[in-house]
């Protein structure tokens, strides 16, 4: 059963990387892309098509990842959507803040592509076996 994944990242190549991992591994999941927090909120405004899972970059123009997360967790319905942070920052403050606001996971993007593929695969497999609150 395919998951609906909302990927929020301003970097096109990051989005390509993610899509490639799914495609190369023949995952049946569907990706909705948003290039920043604002756009993601627009996507989420259509409540009938809510994603199962959100992957969120932290460092983005306009509304950054943590700001987006705050808004999401303040929404009565959207707060149940699991959000996994994908960031190049291993800064402890960011990590703590993300979990404080209510992130479900925090992945530091590694330099090496093969390491990245490994991490994303683990992540996808983990969430596939999770029970989720359907939007």
Partner 1 sequence: MSNEDVDILKRALQREKAARKQAENILEDKSLELYQITQELKETNEKLEYLVGKKESELQGVFDNLVDAYVLMDISGNVLEMNHAANQLFGYDISKDTLNVMTLIYKEDYQYAMNSFQELITKGSFSNYQARVYTKNNGIRTVHINASIIKDKNKNPIGAQGIVRDITEELLQKQIFEEQKKQLSVIVENSSLGIALTQGGKIIQTNKAFQNLLGYSEKELVKKEVKDISLKDEYVASEDNMKRVNDGEIDSFTVNKRYLKKDGNTLWAKTNVGAVRNHNGSVKYQVALIEDITEQLEFEKQREKLVTDLEKTNQELKDYAHIVSHDLKSPLRSIYALVNWIKEDYSTVFDKSGLDHLSMIEKTLEKMEVLINDILSYSSVSNKDNLKSKDIDLNRLINEIKSIVLIPEHIVVSSKKQLPIIYGDEIRIQQLFQNLIGNAVIYMDKEKGEIEIDHKDKKTHHLFSIKDNGIGIKKEYHEKIFKMFESVGDNENSSGIGLAIVKKIVDLYEGKIWLESTPDIGTTFYFTLKK
Among 113, 118, 122, 130, binds partner 1 (CB under 8 A): 113
Q: CA–CA separation, 119 vs 16, rounded Å?
A: 16
Beta-bridge partners for 33:
7
DSSP letters spanning 4-26 = EEEEE-S-HHHHHHHHHHHHHTT
Which residue, 63 or 81, has its beta carbon nearer to partner 1?
63
Among 47, 48, 76, 114, binds partner 1 (CB under 8 A): 114
| Interacting positions 46-105 with partner 1 (CB under 8 A) | 59, 87-89, 91-93
Name the minimum Å distance from CB 29 to partner 1. 19
Which residue, 89 or 128, has its beta carbon nearer to partner 1?
89
Among 14, 38, 39, 71, binds partner 1 (CB under 8 A): 14
Please count the helices (runs of H) and the strands (runs of E) in the chain.
5, 5
| Residue whose pair of structure tokens reads 């591994």 in the numeric block | 25
Contacts with partner 1 by CB under 8 A: the residue count is 20
Report the Cα 123 to chain-centroid distance in Å: 11
Specify the DSSP element, H or E, that contains 34.
strand 30-34
Name the minimum Å distance from CB 14 to partner 1. 7
Q: CA–CA separation, 34 vs 15, rounded Å?
A: 9
25 binds partner 1 (CB under 8 A): no
For binding to partner 1 (CB under 8 A), which residues are involved? 11, 13-14, 16-17, 20, 59, 87-89, 91-93, 109-114, 116
């Amino acid at each position: 059963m395919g998951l609906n994944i909302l990927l929020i990242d301003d970097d096109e190549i990051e989005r390509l990387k993610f899509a490639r991992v799914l495609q190369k591994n023949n995952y049946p999941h569907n990706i909705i892309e948003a290039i920043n927090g604002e756009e993601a909120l627009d996507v989420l405004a259509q409540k009938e098509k809510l994603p199962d899972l959100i992957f969120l970059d932290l460092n983005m123009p306009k509304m950054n990842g943590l700001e987006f997360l705050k808004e999401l967790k303040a929404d009565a319905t959207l707060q149940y959507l699991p959000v996994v942070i994908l960031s190049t920052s291993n800064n402890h403050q960011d990590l703590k803040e993300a979990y404080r606001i209510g992130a479900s996971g925090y992945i530091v993007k590694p330099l090496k592509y093969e390491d990245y593929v490994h991490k994303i695969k683990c992540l996808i497999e983990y969430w596939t076996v999770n029970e989720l609150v359907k939007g």
